[in-house]
Structure 1
Amino acid sequence: MEFTIGGRLEVRITPADVGKRVSVRRRPEGAGQGAMFTDTVGVLTSWDDGVLSITPKSGEGVRIAESTLVAGKVVPAAPARRRGPAASFDELARACARAWQPVESEPLGDWRLRAAAGFTRRANSVLPLGDPGLPLGEALGRVRRWYGERGLPAYIQTATGAEGTQEELCAELERHGWLREVSAEVRIAALAPVGDLDAEVTAVRLHREPDTAWLSRYQRFDTPGDHVLRVLGSGPSVWFASVPGDAEDGTPAAIGRCVVDGRWAGFMAVEVGPEYRRRGLATSVMTALARRALDEGASAAWLQVETDNEGARALYDRMGFAAHHRYHHFRAAE
């Protein structure tokens, strides 16, 4: 990894490079001049108040104090693979979870209890990837109490249909009186074909944060409080897309959200106003987001679609997305 120009180490990145793939070298905080350097390569996702956040291929963000940098440069994105992705359930489930993070969470063995003041089931349900460390009946009691203390219904998100998923846990939850409320498919595809679609993307605007106009199209909450913005803004490298509409209040015709996380790009919140449908706007939004994700080195795509959303399922079929597994939300009986 070469950083030198004429034998000198130089920092050649700035906050203007947020969103680009970078390589940086730093010394440990408080270390002397002779300390060993540490190198990090990944997407520069933020640079605020003297701290850089970089997301490498692992998806686990790294925070670096600006004062510790000794060198840095922008590097070309890794070439995207054009074949379809292969994914284990555990890898994909963890990528999905990183793309939609709660406001607070707590471990229960290998389970993760998640809450975000009730905004979406995904951010307010248990992610049971492993053993809770307790007999199941005791673990379910702990789950009920934890959510009850927060005034929330107790949900557990399970998965079926792929190797390593949780068919036995689903059966046990039903035996304990938990009720399955919602099911959805997790679909995957190669990312490059989505970015290569012949779609009109010139009107699609990409932003790092959801503005008031974007939020006016996203109809999943009553009031966009801090908890909503924290969930929407969570993830390694987050992008928001919008297509301007002709409404006087500035509400976009279409919106979308994408989280780039190592080799994965996750698509969420793709919505088109009823009066703008059948114009290809959803395809335009996803194509623009896919191209940005390809620029950041991603090569595979995932999304979630509810099993009764026939219009979206048909669109994703045409884009090459295939079902990987299903997830289900079980709710504790009153």
Structure 2
Amino acid sequence: MEISARGRLEVRITAADVGKRVSVRRLNDPAAEGEKFTDTVGVLASWDDDVLVITRKSGETVHIPEASLVAGKVVPAAPARRRGPAATYEELAHAATRAWRPVESERLGEWELRASSGFTRRANSVLPLGDPGMPLEAALDVVRRWYGDRGLPAYIQTATGAEGTQELLCAELERLGWVREVSAEMWIGALAPIADRGEPDEVAGVVLSREADEAWLARYQRKGVSEVALEVLGSGPSVWFASVPGEAGGVPAAIGRCVVDGRWAGFAAVEVDPALRRQGLATRVMAALAQRALDEGASAAWLQVESENVGAREMYARMGFAAHHVYHHYREPGACGGEPRTTGC
């Protein structure tokens, strides 16, 4: 924390530092047990009515009474990752949206409004990169009408935890009553080590196709896949579907999807028969897809994983992936929760 020449803690931030990364120390409630102080690091999202709002890397918003501050300073951006490919948030956001294209989209300034009859939040949410071309509350009114006209709740996809992410927008959405419903992480890594994890004979046993056939869809966790869903699944610059055949040619033992886009290969829908997990099937699927992506000139990989999916996170870490940023979906006030859909709650 900031310490003066006389050895005293000092608060060296002001409301003029909104938008900067800060580190603050505050006094805890005297009635609470435990430590006397709490430290918070994140982006200073606002400082109004004697309350600081700080958004942490995880997207958590912390409200701190000004009177409880004992020290504070502006700190440098989080250090760059030490392994894997270099990437900006904006580059990854564009790569991810090209790999999961909505059936319908429309521009609102630099924002992109995306709709696909309720199939996944990613394909039914606003990607707010840049300026919507009007004040935020007016833009949110347009967003709510646009999704309402399509029978969908309005969602906005934001990100935190990396340079250029949207901590300020997250804080504003929460102030306006939008509800953070789902968060996950974007992980990235080098592509070649993923391909190297598959033995040649094992990779040769993985079937690659340009289309998701009925067998592949039978293993896919989202049931009742519609024509809209098939259109989204098949979207992207160069899409590949992988399957490890099951017994007697039935439902595959494992599946996966990969979209090759320039230097990036994006992995998704890696799923394994629950009775066959921890036998290396997911690794085989990803190795086969990675080898195909390398053949097409890609060198880096990305994927999205939920924090609760411990098994997947451990596997991806072993492959050399590491978290780049956290992304969130904010739902409009008063709308139904759960997956987007075209029917009522």
Tell me what 1:208 maps to.
210
Aligned partner of residue 145 in structure 2, secondary structure: helix
One-letter identity of the residue aligned with 2:144: R
Greater CA drift, 194-203 or 129-138: 194-203
* Residue 218 of structure 1, aligned match among 190, 195, 220: 220
Task: Report deviation, 1:96.
Answer: 0.5
Q: Cα deviation per residue 1:101-149 (whole Å; 9 max; x = unaligned)?
A: 0000000010000000000000000000011111100111111111111
What is residue 247 of structure 2 aligned with on the other side? 246
Task: State the 1:274 CA deviation.
Answer: 0.5
Alignment correspondent of 1:78: none
What is the percentage of aligned positions where both structures have the same residue?
A: 74
2:37 is aligned to none
User: Within 5 A, what are the aligned runs for 1:291-302?
Assistant: 291-302=291-302
Q: CA deviation at 1:84?
A: 2.6
Question: Structure 1 CA distance, aligned partners of 2:94 and 2:176?
Answer: 26
Matched residue, 2:93: 93
In structure 2, distance between residues paired with 1:128 and 1:251: 39
Residues 244 and 252 of structure 1 are in contact (CA less than 8 Å); yes or no, is this contact kept in structure 2?
yes
Separation of aligned partners in 2, 1:221 and 1:171 = 35
SS across alignment from 1:317: helix
Q: Which residue of 2 aligns with 1:283?
A: 283
Would the alpha carbon gap of residues 198 and 257 (structure 1) be closer, same or farther in structure 2, given more than 3 Å must change? Answer: closer
- Cα deviation code 1:8-61 (max 9, x no counterpart): xxxxxxxxxxxxxxxxxxxxxxxxxxxxxxxxxxxxxxxxxxxxxxxxxxxxxx
Q: Following the alignment from structure 1 to structure 2, what is the Cα–Cα distance between the partners of residues 327 and 221?
A: 25
Moved over 4 A (4+): none
Q: TM-score, normalised by structure 1?
A: 0.73
* SS, match of residue 141 in structure 2: helix
Instruction: Determine the C-alpha separation between the residues in 1 that align with 2:317 and 2:264.
Output: 19
Distance 2:252 2:114 in 1: 31
The 8 Å contact of residues 84 and 321 in structure 2, kept in 1 or not, is answered as no
| Contact persistence 2:159–2:166 (CA under 8 A) | yes
Residue 35 (structure 1) aligns with? none
Secondary structure, counterpart of 1:201 in structure 2: helix
Question: What are the ranges of 5 or more consecutive residues in structure 1 without an aligned counterpart?
Answer: 1-82
- Bigger radius of gyration among the two: 2
- Per the TM alignment, residue 192 of structure 1 is displaced from its structure 2 partner at its CA by 0.6
Shift of 1:278: 1.2
Q: Does 1:144 align with 2:122?
A: no
Maintained 8 Å contact 2:84/2:320: no
Partner in structure 2 of residue 266 of structure 1: 266
CA distance in 2, matches of 1:328, 1:147: 18
State the alpha-carbon separation in 2 of the partners of residues 233 and 116 from structure 1.
Answer: 13
Q: Provide the C-alpha distance between the structure 2 equivalents of 1:278 and 1:325, rounded to a whole number of angstroms.
A: 27
Deviation of 1:198 after TM superposition, in Å, equals: 3.9
Letter in 2 for 1:259: V
C-alpha deviations, 1:139-175, integer Å up to 9, x for none? 1111111111111111000000100000000000000
SS in 2 for 1:189: strand
What is the root-mean-square deviation of aligned Cα atoms in Å? 1.1
Asked whether the 8 Å contact 1:185–1:327 carries over to 2, the reply is: yes
**Residue 19 of structure 1 aligns with which residue?**
none
Q: Distance in 2 between matches of 1:90 and 1:240?
A: 26
CA distance in 2 between counterparts of 1:161 and 1:183 reads: 12
Measure the CA separation in 1 of the matches of 2:129 and 2:248.
Answer: 44
**What is aligned with 1:161?**
161
Give 2:324's aligned residue: 324
Q: Distance in 1 between the 2:102 and 2:332 partners? A: 20
User: 1 CA distance for matches of 2:113 and 2:324?
Assistant: 24
Say whether the 8 Å CA contact 1:119–1:221 is kept in structure 2: no
Which amino acid letter does the alignment assign opposite residue 247 of structure 2?
D
Any idea what the Cα deviations from partners look like across 1:156-212, whole Å, max 9, x if unmatched?
A: 000001000000000000001000011010000010111111442122100000000
Distance in 2 between residues matched to 1:275 and 1:219, nearest whole Å: 15
Residue 119 in 1 paired to residue 119 in 2?
A: yes
Q: Are the aligned partners of 1:218 and 1:271 in contact in 2 as well (CA < 8 Å)?
A: yes
**Shift, 1:247, TM fit:** 6.5
Aligned to 1:68: none
Are residues 1:197 and 2:211 paired?
no
> C-alpha distance in 1, partners of 2:146/2:319?
41
Give 1:277's aligned amino acid: R
Alpha-carbon distance in structure 2 between the residues aligned to 1:259 and 1:306: 20
- SS of 2:171 mapped into structure 1: helix
Alpha-carbon distance in structure 1 between the residues aligned to 2:191 and 2:304? 15
Are 2:179 and 2:330, in contact at CA under 8 Å, matched by a contact in 1? yes
Taking structure 2 as the reference length, what is the TM-score of the superposition? Answer: 0.71
Per the TM alignment, residue 287 of structure 1 is displaced from its structure 2 partner at its CA by 0.2
Q: How far has the Cα of 1:225 moved from its partner?
A: 1.7
